[in-house]
């Protein structure tokens, strides 16, 4: 698919109301039939933002009825979706997003690897960066705070991603961060990035909207407003990836190589031994 149609669903949701949010998602999927190839929802859209007090009640298993209903809805509508939710897996909780294709198959599962302050103590971090093939396009997912770290977007690029999809839950007080950083991540990795953010007031936070799509040249292709619910439709020219890399391929020229598993350098957060300082000064 050289020119996929992407629909970014910038929406409110109710924190802690799984049933209401799921019904809204099912309605949005049905309404998008024939109008898009991929419908993208915000971060943890199905439950809103859980807390340490209610995560045990709200988290759902991928094998359960809610995800099954979404898979069926995607199949009925003939579209693919990316949706975020609080995942239950053997007593552990993750901030997760799935790519479900138009046949109802789960093509990709990603667990948020960089936990924001409000995630900590609620979720465990993921540590894998999968990429799947979707209609001839290699797709990866990052979730909200992940996009603020250049290493993880580069990880997906090195794994062959042509498109990064970002379910977002960025608050209004920091909305400018993602508005600025998403075109930069697209430019430095020479790929497309699309982001669907939550909007409106939640139980603890107000959310900043500004869902957007950026191309491999760092150009913002479309952006939603900061305050209102909005459906943002954009068509991606996937040939732009090759055009951007043909002139100057950052991935080939970069001298820093990343492995497929995250690791933290041992010097971070620790004192550097005196002999290391001495050797480096020589």
CB neighbours of residue 104 within 10 Å: 15
The C-alpha atoms of residue 168 and residue 117 are separated, in whole angstroms, by 15
Backbone angles phi, psi at 59, to 5 degrees: -65, 145
Backbone angles phi, psi at 136, to 5 degrees: 80, 5
pLDDT confidence of residue 199: 98
Average pLDDT, rounded, for the chain:
92
In this model, does residue 277 exceed pLDDT 60? no
Catalytic, out of 13, 102, 144, 230? 144
The question of whether 144 is a catalytic residue gets the answer yes
Span 58-78, average pLDDT: 98
pLDDT in tens, 216-268: 999 999 999 999 999 999 999 999 999 999 989 999 998 876 566 555 555 44
The question of whether 35 is a catalytic residue gets the answer no
Query: Helix-strand-coil percent breakdown of the chain, rounded to 5?
Result: 30, 30, 40
pLDDT in tens, 128-165: 999 999 999 999 999 999 999 999 999 999 999 999 99
Q: Which residue has the tokens 């993921």?
A: 126
**Domains of the chain, CATH where assigned:** 5-281 (3.60.110.10)
The CA-based dihedral angle spanning residues 19, 78, 80, 131, taken in that order and rounded to the nearest 10 degrees: 140
pLDDT in tens, 114-123: 999 999 999 9
Catalytic, out of 13, 87, 109, 112? 112
Span 34-56, average pLDDT: 98
The C-alpha atoms of residue 8 and residue 4 are separated, in whole angstroms, by 13
The C-alpha atoms of residue 33 and residue 78 are separated, in whole angstroms, by 6
The question of whether 124 is a catalytic residue gets the answer no
Chain CA centroid to CA 74, Å: 19
pLDDT confidence of residue 256: 74
Categorize the per-residue pLDDT at 2 as very low, low, confident or very high, splitting at 50, 70 and 90: confident
In this model, does residue 282 exceed pLDDT 70? no
Categorize the per-residue pLDDT at 72 as very low, low, confident or very high, splitting at 50, 70 and 90: very high
Catalytic, out of 43, 87, 210, 230? 43
């Amino acid at each position: 698919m050289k020119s996929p149609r992407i629909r970014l669903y910038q929406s409110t949701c109710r924190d802690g109301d799984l049933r209401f949010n799921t019904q809204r998602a099912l309605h949005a999927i049905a309404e998008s039939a024939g109008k898009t190839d991929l419908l993208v929802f915000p971060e943890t859209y199905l439950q809103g933002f859980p807390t340490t007090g209610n995560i045990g009640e709200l988290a759902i298993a991928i094998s359960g009825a809610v995800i099954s209903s979404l898979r069926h809805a995607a199949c009925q509508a003939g579209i693919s979706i990316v949706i975020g939710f609080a995942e239950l897996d053997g007593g552990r909780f993750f901030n997760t997003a799935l790519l479900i294709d138009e046949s109802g198959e789960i093509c990709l599962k990603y667990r948020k690897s960089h936990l924001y302050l409000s995630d900590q103590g609620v979720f465990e971090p993921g540590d894998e960066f999968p990429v799947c093939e979707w209609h001839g396009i290699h797709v990866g997912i990052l979730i909200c705070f992940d996009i603020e770290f250049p290493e993880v977007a580069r990880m997906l690029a090195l794994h062959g991603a042509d498109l990064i999809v970002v379910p977002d839950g960025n608050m209004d007080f920091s909305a400018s961060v993602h508005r600025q950083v998403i075109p930069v991540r697209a430019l430095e990795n020479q790929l497309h990035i699309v982001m669907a953010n939550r909007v409106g007031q939640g139980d603890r936070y107000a959310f900043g909207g500004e869902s957007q799509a950026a191309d491999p040249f760092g150009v913002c292709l479309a952006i939603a407003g900061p305050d209102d619910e909005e459906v943002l439709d954009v068509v991606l020219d996937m040939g732009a990836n090759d055009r951007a890399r043909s002139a100057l391929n950052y991935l080939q020229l970069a001298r820093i190589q990343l492995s497929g598993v995250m690791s933290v350098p041992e010097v971070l957060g620790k004192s550097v031994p005196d002999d290391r300082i001495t050797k480096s000064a020589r």
